[in-house]
Structure 1
């Protein structure tokens, strides 16, 4: 144990890589189902994604602890989020990026309401500017409150979105079938 609350999703996707559909069960087990995508489909999806570092760091355990304390009152929201995960899988399988964007947009709206601290006025402003510049949907990754903003958009809108979010840095992102790897850059 690391001594703090933490989620599972980030750890699992880092270990498995690719595009996965995870089912987190009440007995604490996790069912993993890869979403089969050809290399061309992975490239197409990657071209629709942008990742921006917000410059905001925070510890996830406070947000996750608060979210956990509100589980009972959030059950309808959590059930809708689970249904959205199935919708996202279907959109990915059919390469329906506008549908995936709509799922991400609704999912982010639901996640923001789970507890305080998941979003901030600053994050909401960035998200609004990205949407106005052409983003179809997105979310703050991890527990929320800072870190990275992941956006789905038509590839031709990437420069407009980057300009709308300047001076935030757009980081390269590619979907690969492998899990985490260590990359050495220069020596």
Structure 2
């Protein structure tokens, strides 16, 4: 199951970097004020996380793409700074080329996009994202913890 999951995920660097601390500070401010929309959003994200865990434990790897999609749509409602037109365009192009779902990794605003794809669609998604100027990052799951890869 781990191998199937790993082979179904593709990761891209968007080339865009934004300050995660600004986005997270906005979230914290809204949470401290008990902003009902923020609180509801956080609860929805938690439920999506619990459902993701449940589906993975059952071995329903293909549900992950659908849950990524729901997570992404929910997360974007949290702040106008989570995404921006270029990221939204990349996301839509990936979906049109076969990605089942995806999400921006981290607080938002740039960085990395991860998509879940059926293996037959993976080459199309990779080609489409590279055409958009994103860099495909090969990765593997690691269960040994952090390692120094480059020491300068």
Tell me, yes or no, whether TM beats 0.5: yes
**Residue number in structure 2 paired with 1:27:** none
SS at match of 2:12: strand
CA positional deviation for 1:85: 0.6
Give the count of matched residue pairs. Answer: 146
Give the conservation status (yes or no) of the 8 Å contact 1:49–1:173.
Answer: no
SS at match of 1:139: strand
Q: Distance in 2 between matches of 1:81 and 1:174?
A: 25
**Residue number in structure 1 paired with 2:60:** 96
**Residue number in structure 1 paired with 2:145:** 179
Q: Which runs of 5+ in 2 are unaligned?
A: none
CA positional deviation for 1:102: 1.1
Q: Which runs of 5+ in 1 are unaligned?
A: 1-40
Give the conservation status (yes or no) of the 8 Å contact 2:4–2:61.
Answer: no
**Residue number in structure 2 paired with 1:168:** 134
Q: How does 1:117-136 map to 2 (within 5 A)?
A: 117-136=81-100
TM-score by length of 2: 0.89
The answer on 1:142 being equivalent to 2:106 is yes
Q: Distance in 1 between matches of 2:56 and 2:124?
A: 24
Q: Distance in 1 between matches of 2:150 and 2:20?
A: 27
Cα RMSD for the two superposed structures: 1.6
Q: Deviations over 1:79-121 (max 9, x none)?
A: 1111111110112122323311111111111111111211001
CA positional deviation for 1:184: 4.3
**Residue number in structure 2 paired with 1:55:** 15
Higher helix share: 2
**Residue number in structure 2 paired with 1:65:** 25
Moved over 6 A (4+): none
Give the conservation status (yes or no) of the 8 Å contact 1:53–1:170.
Answer: yes
Q: Distance in 2 between matches of 1:151 and 1:79?
A: 23
